[in-house]
Amino acid sequence: MGQIRVLEQAVAERIAAGEVVERPASVVKELIENSLDAGATQVVVEVAGAGIDLIRVGDNGSGMDADDLRLSVRRFATSKIAAADDLQQVRTFGFRGEALPSIAAVSHLEITSAPAGAVEALRLRLTGGTAAREETAGAPAGTTVTVRRLFYNTPARRKFLKSPSREFALVVDTVNRLALAHPAVAFRLIHQGGEVVRYPAGRDDDRMAAVLGPDTYERTEALHEVVGDLVISGRLGRPELARATRRHQYCFVNRRTVQSRMLTGAIEHAYHQLLPVGRFPIFAVFIDLSPDRVDVNVHPRKVEVRFDDDHQVFGAVSRAVRAALRAVPLIRTADTPQIAVTPEAGLVPLPLSDATTFTGVAEPTVVSSTGRLPAMRLLGQLHGTYLLAQSDGGMVVIDQHAAHERVLYERLLRKRTRGAGDSQVLIAPVTVTLEPGDAGLVEAHGQALADLGFHLEPFGDRTVLIRAVPGGLDVSSPERLLRDLLAELAGGDRLRSAQSHLERLTIATACHTAVRAGDRLNGEQMAMLLRDLAETDDPFTCFHGRPTMITIPLTDVDRWFLRK
Ligand code: ADP
Ligand code: MG
């Protein structure tokens, strides 16, 4: 790096102020970022006592000469920017010259550094920020920073730390995030003397597989989209990988790890209907754009960023993710239980009476491969609830209700976008007497109901006449459908309030009219359902985000029978 200067006060004052060193993981982040800024290709992190006893980060980067080393621990001393204008174009991770002095102030710090070609390294020791000792040392080119007794002089800050295991987990997460963004750099993490992470230098995908784990990586899909000067790339977890927390969501802007509600929101928006409420997708998404379009100087630990045009970035990211997810088959694979086959387990008697609830198809129906759905040969209906089909590599189990919901929902949606009007007129209008509250609902949501295909006519105070119901559906009781929809409108479900009334009505209509679990279907109906499903845009989940089908690979079946 070289050439450290102390920033002029006017520049220093423009830097987002605040606490840099919040916990051990923030020390690890700052030190690794310094190593990356110094061009290191190898970074070794060593931690003991959850980072309170020891954090050591060693690199093979540019190192510092004696003068720079002494300056590096002073406040606002940096080699990365010189003037206020440079803040607009920052390409390095650091830029404010605050990390080393902030860490030094709350610990016993030791930095050993030597630039390439130096005969010996210089080692600086500080206690609570005050220089204590300087000595020479034999060390290879690069820098090693050792932080001991973190927060020894700030007991209040220590008190805010979580449990040691939680703090260490945050250190691991920090290393993982930085490692994901820098696949060409080799990383090692050593905890209490044992190696817990080893990432050799590699390409993006190698690193992604190493950090996510190969099994998880295999269930991610590639993302790559260029929108103007915006490059959106990474890996998207298939819906089946979704978790109950957002912990496995990784966002990067210009290879900087960031927390951005906007970006997370844009990505999750694209997963809409692919996941049930309360489940979060896992992903690693990289946004790259010109540094002057993003302000990194808005947060003391540089974890938040601000875009010049949030709206544009949101739209582009959301569309890119959606397109990537809609381009690949997302059939879930059954989680194979670890079946231990023992003689006893083989003795479970088959409930024979259940065999009668299998309805086979007389003429084996082949549903040819369309869009993202593989070709399937329909075999029959299990327990009046699931369809069973054979596919190329195994078998597919289809939830008839979820599948039908998807079909009807998209059918209704298409009609809506084509501009309503598509109704089935009832031969005899149905008179419905409404609850006192419901009459107002019919009036308030008259337009949405009409858009859906209802023709309703007021008939006295609390009575309406249903003249027509939405077309293309099997409406056995227009009255019950209307009452269900009114109940949906009356229910102030907060989770759903973000959806428009029309959307809620569409979903409720599809749900109401879809075949249910337990409805016997004949071969003709089963085939029709599968063909209709094959033609939907999103055949793999219903609008609640539940899967419509699960595939069981033949290789899994082979394994159950110990053939492999
Ligand atoms: P900043 O990174 O914002 O410049 P720091 O306090 O983190 O501030 O570091 C101060 C300076 O010390 C850096 O600008 C850099 O020149 C030098 N430095 C810190 N760590 C290293 C390192 N690992 N290798 C080489 N130089 C370093
Ligand atoms: Mg720094």
Successive 10-residue mean pLDDT values, the chain, 564 residues: 76 65 94 97 97 97 95 88 80 86 94 94 93 87 96 89 94 97 98 95 96 94 96 96 93 94 95 89 96 86 87 96 92 67 43 61 78 88 93 94 95 76 86 87 88 89 91 89 89 60 89 92 91 91 91 92 85
Question: Is any ligand 1 atom within 6 A of the Cβ of residue 80?
Answer: yes
Taking the C-alpha atoms of residue 17 and residue 146, their distance in angstroms, rounded to an integer, is 25
Question: Could you write out the DSSP letters of every residue in 159-191?
Answer: HT---HHHHHHHHHHHHHHHHHH-TTSEEEEEE
The pair of structure tokens assigned to 127 is 């206690």
Query: In the prediction, which pLDDT does 356 show?
Result: 57
Query: In the prediction, which pLDDT does 352 show?
Result: 46
Query: In the prediction, which pLDDT does 316 show?
Result: 97
Substitution candidate for ligand 1 out of 57, 100, 145 with most atoms within 8 A of CB: 100
Residue with the smallest CA separation from ligand 1 atom 12 is 72
Taking the C-alpha atoms of residue 49 and residue 191, their distance in angstroms, rounded to an integer, is 8
Separation of 23 CA from ligand 1 center, angstroms? 19
Question: Is any ligand 1 atom within 6 A of the Cβ of residue 97?
Answer: yes
Taking the C-alpha atoms of residue 75 and residue 65, their distance in angstroms, rounded to an integer, is 18
pTM greater than 0.95: no
Query: In the prediction, which pLDDT does 420 show?
Result: 53
Separation of 97 CA from ligand 1 center, angstroms? 7
Separation of 198 CA from ligand 2 center, angstroms? 23
- Containing H/E element for 144? strand 142-148
Question: Is any ligand 1 atom within 6 A of the Cβ of residue 26?
Answer: no
Separation of 200 CA from ligand 2 center, angstroms? 24
- Which ligand number lies closest to the CA of residue 38? 1
Question: Is any ligand 1 atom within 6 A of the Cβ of residue 240?
Answer: no
Separation of 67 CA from ligand 1 center, angstroms? 13
Query: In the prediction, which pLDDT does 355 show?
Result: 47
Residue with the smallest CA separation from ligand 1 atom 19 is 34
Question: Is any ligand 1 atom within 6 A of the Cβ of residue 35?
Answer: yes
Length of the chain: 564
Query: In the prediction, which pLDDT does 421 show?
Result: 53
